[in-house]
Chains A and B, each alone.
Chain A
């Protein structure tokens, strides 16, 4: 039984399509990675899943229900939560207020307190700063806030768009160890990254996308296979972009 199943997804912005054939399957509790160069359509793919980008073709099913064309605020209530690229926290609101907003997408109001406590446990730094303006936090702290905010709605599937963007290496380590812990609680995770090595070692599978198509699927063993990586990333006979 797959939690998320997408195939033939086409999407873009305005009149220009960027994603031409997106497909993916995610089972409950799985961590799947999507990597690829800039412009590959990775963010667009996540956006199509979460409902912030409208898919012009293809099918996306969450728990066997089609979610194409549904509003983002409805999709999150089904259990699919997206942490957008660049963190997208509300800079003019406090940390606490940002987290409270995350509760809006919960399927049931019961258990909200517990969810907030769990988030506090995963990210103790947030409790220390809970009344600070979110815009004042460091990049790494903002990333943690963004993830915590998505977690308090207790999603079944968490989508992350380039969580490592703009973060120092040590901070990236922290973020990805948190992702691992999240996976261990049974939440499925899809992580989009430009840098493959970050994701490949913890992901059950890593999809490589280029120019709107999924070009290859890599497994953890392929991490050491440089040639296979290069080919998937850059394609045979093509210059580095």
Chain B
């Protein structure tokens, strides 16, 4: 029972992080980055490749730096050149970048999964209140809390965070006040890369392997979370991701058979939210004008 709750919380935290990564970039750019999954994938690949030979701490650093670099490359190489494009073009472009990277991974790393034990201790158990629970779920919850807390602090208390919030609310006016558009967008991408790396760590320690399509499913579900929570609201994205993740975990634990149709219900919910309340559950005045 405790494990079930912990699982729900850890999945919730994981998807909260993933959804926040997507939400950050969406806020400043109106870009729903399908390629976010490929950021998660590169983090996973870097971990799988570097940890067995260089150890976990070095591996984590490499993964974090690598993911942030790829995120910046995406922005500088593609999305920067589409600044004046509408959200639909950006959507197709991100789809294109996503497939492009998936294929690159196939060429570079091969289509078959690569396996390695990144952090076997995550799958071990510890005793809490008389029951055994997996370390992984505890670590994930703690990691999610730390990162979400850190992001909250950054967004709410720092000057750059203020600029990001302003740019998310009204990009044009923010520029009129002197907010440097490229810097703000670049920062959003870098942070979304950091969040992706964290998601990669948790996911890859669980699964033990990585393949070119590693990030696809996580991104699709994280996207659901972002939309449900409200496009344009960072708290909404995190909350929406949390809800999606924890709900899926609970459904898996309790419903067994019927979980095959989970996606159907989730995506019907997405459609309903878009039709009825485009601002999502955490609606704000700014969000309503957006979509």
Contact = CB atoms under 8 A, between A and B. Distances in A.
Interface string A47-91: 000111000000000000000000111001100011010001011
A71 B181 contact: yes
B170 A88 contact: yes
A130 to B, nearest CB: 15
B175 interface: yes
Contact of A93 (B159, B165, B178, B179): B165
| Of listed B166, B173, B174, B180, residue having the most chain A CB within 10 A | B173
A14 to B, nearest CB: 10
Contact of B179 (A50, A73, A91): A73
B169 A92 contact: yes
B1 interface: no
Interface residues of A, number: 27
Contacts, number: 70
B35 to A, nearest CB: 26
B177 A102 contact: yes
Contacts of A92: 165, 169, 284-286
A90 B286 CA distance: 9
Interface string B159-189: 1001101100110111111111100000000
B179 A101 contact: yes
Size category of the B interface is 20 to 34
Given A92-B285, A93-B162, A153 B169 contact: no
B186 to A, nearest CB: 14
B162 A73 contact: no
A76 B177 contact: yes
B162 A77 contact: no
Contact of B163 (A51, A76, A101, A150): A101
A205 interface: no
Contacts of A150: 177
B163 A104 contact: yes
Given A100-B162, A101-B163, A84 B173 contact: yes
Nearest to A98: B166
B157 to A, nearest CB: 11
A91 B169 contact: yes
A72 B176 contact: yes
A50 B163 CA distance: 19
A241 to B, nearest CB: 28
A183 interface: no
Nearest to B181: A73
Contact of A149 (B175, B177, B285): B177
A213 interface: no
B180 A73 contact: yes
A90 B172 contact: no
Given A90-B166, A97-B162, A84 B176 contact: yes
A90 B177 CA distance: 12
A97 B178 CA distance: 14
B59 to A, nearest CB: 38
Given A91-B285, A92-B285, A76 B176 contact: yes
Contacts of A72: 172, 175-176
A111 interface: no
A127 B286 CA distance: 25
Contacts of B169: 90-93
Nearest to A102: B177
B181 A105 contact: no
A228 to B, nearest CB: 35
Contacts of A71: 175, 181
A104 B180 CA distance: 9
A178 B178 CA distance: 23
B176 A52 contact: yes
B176 A90 contact: no
A93 B165 CA distance: 8
Nearest to A76: B178
A81 B177 CA distance: 7
Contacts of B174: 101
B48 to A, nearest CB: 41
Given A73-B180, A97-B162, A91 B175 contact: no
Given A72-B172, A88-B176, A90-B173, 18 more contacts: A52-B172, A72-B176, A73-B177, A73-B179, A82-B176, A84-B176, A90-B165, A90-B166, A91-B169, A91-B285, A92-B165, A92-B284, A92-B285, A93-B162, A100-B162, A101-B162, A101-B177, A150-B177
26 contacts: A52-B172, A52-B175, A71-B175, A72-B175, A73-B177, A73-B181, A76-B176, A76-B178, A84-B173, A90-B169, A90-B170, A91-B285, A91-B286, A92-B169, A97-B162, A97-B165, A101-B166, A101-B177, A101-B179, A102-B177, A104-B163, A104-B178, A105-B177, A106-B178, A149-B177, A153-B177
Interface of A: 50-52, 71-73, 76-77, 81-82, 84, 88, 90-93, 97, 100-102, 104-106, 135, 149-150, 153
